[in-house]
Structures are given as structure tokens and as C-alpha cells.
Amino acid sequence: MPSVAMTVNGKAVSGEVETRTLLVHFLRENLRLTGTHVGCDTSQCGACVVHVNGKAVKSCTMLAVQAEGAQVTTVEGLTQDGKLHPVQAAFKEHHGLQCGFCTPGMIMTAVDMIRRIPDLDEKTIRAELEGNLCRCTGYQNIVKAIEAASKEMKGARA
């Protein structure tokens, strides 16, 4: 079996995988980082979104071997010193989740869009959430949470 090595949430990790092992399964099964979810079989729901080299990608649509040498961040990597990331805190504050299944992917997508787009309005947030499905919330509070986090993080940078 091929072995693969990468950096996940700042730590060097490696493991034996099959060539067909998806990145999401490497994260969940080899590394036991079960925050990243699998919600569909069709690359559509976004529950599996993680960052690879700083960009949001669907970890169910990437082979683990393709991530050789990459910097990967999962939802577990957002919390620093036991303190929630501003996007996580905003989801809590604005009730951006119900069952929570879509939440890790939503949060990783939100962090990515906030990093890329300085002035996020509601319309842009909704367009950026194209690849993330939520069966519970109706999106309203997810959008609110992202808008609030974006403002707060911008304030913190200024």
C-alpha cells in the first residue's frame, strides 16, 4: 500500500492508504478527525469541505494521495487554545445550526470566503454557499452568522 504524508492542522502526519482512499476517509478513519463529514456520494453537499493549501475543497472528491505534502486544515484545526474561531462563535451566537451535520463544511466554506472576499454582502454569501447543502436551517441563520463573523473579523484586522 502506498504511504502518504501531509500536514494536518499544523501537525505532520502520515499513513498507509489505498490509492483509492479519499482524503475524507484518511482524515476520518486514519486520523480519527471525525469533524469532517460525508453527506452525499455526488460531490454536491459540501459537508466534507476542508482547506488544502489554503483553499476550500471537497475532501470526498480528492484522493488522499493527491494531498501528499499538502497543508490541510479541518474544522478541528480552527479552534485555538480552546477558544472558538470567530466563525464558529458566530454560528453558535446566531443559531446557524440545528442538527449540525452540515456545519463543519459550512464553517470551512465560510472561513474560506471571508478570507477571499473583503466585503461580503448577503447576496455574495448565498452565491458562495452554492456547494453546501443544509437540510435543517433554511440557510437564513447560516447567512446571518457568516455576515456577522465577516464584520467581526474585518474589525479585528483593522
Residues in contact with ligand FES by CB under 6 A are: 38-40, 43-48, 58, 60, 97-102, 134-137
Count of CB atoms within 10 A of residue 88's CB? 21
Let me know the angle formed at the C-alpha of 101 by 57 and 68, rounded to the nearest 5 degrees.
30
The piece of 57-65, 84-92, 134-142, 144-152 that touches another protein (CB under 8 A) is 57-65
Q: Phi/psi at 3 (nearest 5 deg)?
A: -110, 155
Say whether residue 96 binds another protein (CB under 8 A): no
Q: Residue 100 Cβ, how far from ligand FES at the closest point, in Å? A: 6
Q: Phi/psi at 32 (nearest 5 deg)?
A: 60, 30
Sheet architecture: strand order including 11-16 = 11-16, 3-8, 71-73, 49-52, 55-58
Angle, to 10 degrees, between the axis of helix 103-116 and the axis of helix 86-93? 120
The residue (of 44 and 71) whose beta carbon lies closer to ligand FAD is: 44
For CA atoms 133, 86, 74, 121, give the dihedral sign.
positive
Which residue of 30, 44, 98, 124 would you call a contact of ligand FAD, by CB under 6 A? 44
The piece of 7-15, 38-46, 75-83, 135-143 that touches another protein (CB under 8 A) is 38-46
Q: Residue 2 Cβ, how far from ligand FAD at the closest point, in Å? A: 19
The residue (of 29 and 93) whose beta carbon lies closer to another protein is: 29
Among ligand FAD, another protein, ligand FES, none, partner that 18 touches (CB below 5 to 8 angstroms by kind): another protein
> Which pairing describes strands 71-73 and 49-52: parallel, antiparallel, or unpaired?
antiparallel
The residue (of 62 and 78) whose beta carbon lies closer to ligand FAD is: 62
Site residues for ligand FAD per CB under 6 A: 43-44
